[in-house]
């Protein structure tokens, strides 16, 4: 390879581990199965494994960034069944070739999704691609590709998630952008982290959060017994309504009014002469999720 005979090289290792016992059930080394000549860079980091997926009961799907190849690997013997892209065993259709790819995932009906980072030196845009693999005809065909309309560049990282409704969610890796596309490739949603951030992979999942601390309340009084209340509960995804409580003592609060939760902090205006107020956060069904401590008011004369 033009390097010293005793030069170093990084191996790519995949393991299947029994979580309960820690026993290694299967271990695979790239150096036992993939030659240095398959790499498109100098051989030190010749393989750079970056994703493993269960292809089926008997096989794994392993992605190598620097050989530009996705490998189907026998889950018992470790033998390579085929190479997709790179030194490919397939007839690669138009648009199916990748560069420095990440996150190869298997789906039903021979579909594989891949995040292709593209080549920055050649001015290539990163793409999330959906490839149909025919293992009988040994052909790979592009089903669909998803690209960012702003033509961003993402030389490292990135991933593709197929959502239950058929939409596709893409994390653009070293370019800190997240996007959701519909089935035909239209952008439905896009967001970005600050420019110094990166996201190796991004996912969209249903999520419900209830903080361990109590909701926060602050209040200020105004003329004619007006009280302006500020309510917040950071991370409470199910909170839908704030119920305002008021009473003569911290343990004697009764419902006074309610208001829908709006954004991070909800401002609620009420009228009361009671010296204490508090809040309850309620979900859409009216269940109380959390209660603030009582807040003592200083009514204006």
> Which pLDDT belongs to residue 195?
80
Fold of domain 216-296: Immunoglobulin-like (2.60.40)
Mean pLDDT of all residues belonging to the chain: 93
Chain segment 158-211, per-residue pLDDT in tens: 999 999 999 999 999 999 999 999 988 999 999 998 888 888 999 999 989 989
* 83, 63 contact by CB (below 8 A): no
Q: Supply φ then ψ for residue 66, to 5 degrees.
A: -95, -5
Per mean pLDDT, which range of 100-104, 128-132, 183-187, 191-195 is the poorest?
A: 191-195
Which among 67, 63, 66, 65 has a CA at the least distance from the CA of 113?
A: 63
Alpha helices in the chain (DSSP H): none
For residue 217, pLDDT over 70 is answered with: yes
Write out the residue limits of the CATH 2.60.40.10 domain(s) in the chain. 216-296
What b/e string do you get for 144-170 counting C-beta neighbours within 10 Å, with b at 16 or more? bbbbbeeebbbbbbbbbbeeeeebbbb
> Which pLDDT belongs to residue 171?
96
Q: Is 102 exposed, middle or buried (0-12, 13-18, 19+ CB in 10 A)?
A: buried
* 228, 222 contact by CB (below 8 A): yes
Which among 203, 272, 204, 207 has a CA at the least distance from the CA of 238?
A: 207
For residue 3, pLDDT over 70 is answered with: no
Write out the residue limits of the CATH 2.130.10.10 domain(s) in the chain. 13-192
> Which pLDDT belongs to residue 77?
94
For residue 97, pLDDT over 70 is answered with: yes
Fold of domain 13-192: Methylamine Dehydrogenase; Chain H (2.130.10)
Model-level pTM?
0.78
Q: What whole-number distance in Å separates Cα of residue 73 and Cα of residue 54?
A: 10
Distance (Å) of CA 175 to CA 48, 80, 86, 126, 192: 20, 33, 25, 10, 9
For residue 280, pLDDT over 70 is answered with: yes
């Amino acid at each position: 390879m033009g390097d010293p005979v005793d030069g170093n090289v990084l191996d790519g290792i995949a393991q299947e581990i029994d979580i309960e016992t820690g026993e290694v059930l299967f271990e695979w080394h790239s150096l036992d199965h993939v030659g240095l000549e398959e790499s498109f860079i100098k051989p030190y980091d010749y393989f750079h494994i970056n994703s493993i997926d269960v292809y089926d009961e008997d096989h794994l799907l392993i992605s190598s960034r620097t050989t530009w190849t996705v490998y189907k690997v026998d889950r018992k013997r470790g033998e390579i069944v085929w190479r997709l892209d790179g030194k490919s065993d397939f007839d690669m259709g138009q648009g199916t070739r990748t560069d420095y790819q990440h996150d190869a995932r298997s789906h039903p009906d021979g579909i594989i999704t891949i995040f292709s980072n593209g080549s920055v030196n050649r001015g290539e845009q990163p793409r999330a691609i959906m490839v149909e693999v025919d293992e009988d005809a040994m052909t790979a065909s592009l089903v669909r590709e998803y690209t960012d309309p702003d033509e961003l560049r993402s030389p490292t990282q990135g991933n593709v998630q197929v959502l239950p409704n058929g939409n596709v969610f893409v994390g653009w890796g070293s370019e800190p952008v997240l996007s959701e596309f519909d089935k035909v490739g239209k952008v439905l949603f896009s967001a970005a982290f600050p420019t110094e951030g990166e996201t190796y992979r991004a996912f969209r999942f249903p999520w419900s959060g209830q903080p361990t601390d109590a909701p926060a309340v602050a209040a200020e009084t105004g003329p004619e017994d007006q009280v302006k209340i500020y309510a917040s509960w950071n991370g409470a995804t199910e909170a839908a309504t704030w119920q305002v409580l008021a009473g003569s003592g911290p343990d004697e609060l009764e419902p006074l009014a309610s208001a829908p939760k709006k954004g991070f902090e909800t401002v609620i205006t009420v009228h009361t002469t009671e010296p204490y107020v508090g809040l309850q956060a309620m979900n859409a069904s009216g269940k109380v999720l959390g209660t603030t401590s009582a807040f003592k008011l200083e009514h204006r004369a």
